[in-house]
A = this chain, B = another copy of it.
Amino acid sequence: MDEPSLARPGPAAPGLKAPTLVESAVTQPTATELIAVIVAVTDRTPRILTVDGATLPAGAFQPGYRSLQASLRSWVEKQTRLRLGYVEQLYTFADHGRTGADQRTISISYLGLTREGPAGRGASWQGWYRYFPWEDHRTGSPLSETLETALRAWAEAAPSPGARTQRRQRAAYSFGFDGHGWNEELTLQRYELLYEASLVEEAPEFRGTPQLGTAMRHDHRRILATGIARLRAKIKYRPVVFELLAAEFTLLELQQSVEALAGRRLHKPNFRRLITQQQLVEETGGSRAETGGRPARLYRFRRDVLLERALGGTKLPIARSR
């Protein structure tokens, strides 16, 4: 969907010689792997597909596919029998030291959305807040005292007064201390700050003090943080939540899915207004009575908005007339 999806043109036209700014690319062969953050939301909990609860699914890059994304998609779908509704590239890392020696691995990470189904051999679904307990602000701010204390200590241990102020500020902005509001999109920055402060197990200098979530293999927790951050940003301007829901749903189910992903409570009347005004959904005519209260109408996603939506995030004061 987001992927530039053209077939690639053939070899270069002859006659163009390669000057200094174009180096031969064939020098250093590297191994290439694809790493997937596969997300589903079940029971108000965002879950990810893992191997042994500590590793993200990863596979060697398979030549022969039209694109990297097609390769990843078919590999995941074959291994897990899950249908990926939405796939987007996250980030590409160069990993040195993992396979040792001169060989480096290029890791290309992807985000994929689906609905939870039986996990394949060796795989399991895990709630993502298990790895990031401080990211769930739906009921209070978990660990906020622990974090604030630990990060303050880290800030005070800075080598210079300037660095100290900077550390204090970064911690305050990222985690919403000192009256700065909580911004759910900063998941990656928060994780990186904790890493830098050696407060997560993956950090080389980690001393084992507070237990901040379950660690993952290699840098998979960072990749997961990247995926969470990206998804939290995306749900605000692209109708991707629907990939995580059943075909028919109530507005509360929709809201609770968004709340699960964002890790925040939403204002119900305004959320409904937002959804209905944007005409993202249409009534199916049915209703569901098992809600504990008045029966809720059922809705379905209007697939055509995927085409319509020009999504003009216009923050620029564009001049109308000449």
Contact = CB atoms under 8 A, between A and B. Distances in A.
A181 interface: yes
Given A89-B92, A105-B25, A173-B308, A16 B181 contact: no
Interface string A98-109: 111011111010
A180 interface: yes
A32 interface: yes
Contacts of A58: 21-23, 25
Contacts of A103: 26
A13 B54 CA distance: 11
Contact of A71 (B68, B94, B233, B318): B94
A25 B93 CA distance: 14
A143 interface: no
A192 B29 contact: no
Contact of A30 (B29, B95, B307): B29
A207 interface: no
Contact of A102 (B57, B63, B271): B63
Interface string A235-271: 1110000000000000000000010001011111011
B219 A8 contact: yes
A32 B21 contact: no
A291 interface: no
B28 A61 contact: yes
A208 interface: no
A270 B308 CA distance: 28
A294 interface: no
A321 to B, nearest CB: 9
A37 B270 CA distance: 42
Contacts of A196: 6
A96 B63 contact: yes
A274 interface: yes
B96 A21 contact: no
Interface string A149-177: 00000000000000000100110010000
Contacts of A315: 236-237
B93 A91 contact: no
A37 to B, nearest CB: 13
Contacts of A20: 79, 120-123
A190 B63 CA distance: 28
A147 to B, nearest CB: 17
A27 interface: yes
A275 to B, nearest CB: 10
A163 B305 CA distance: 17
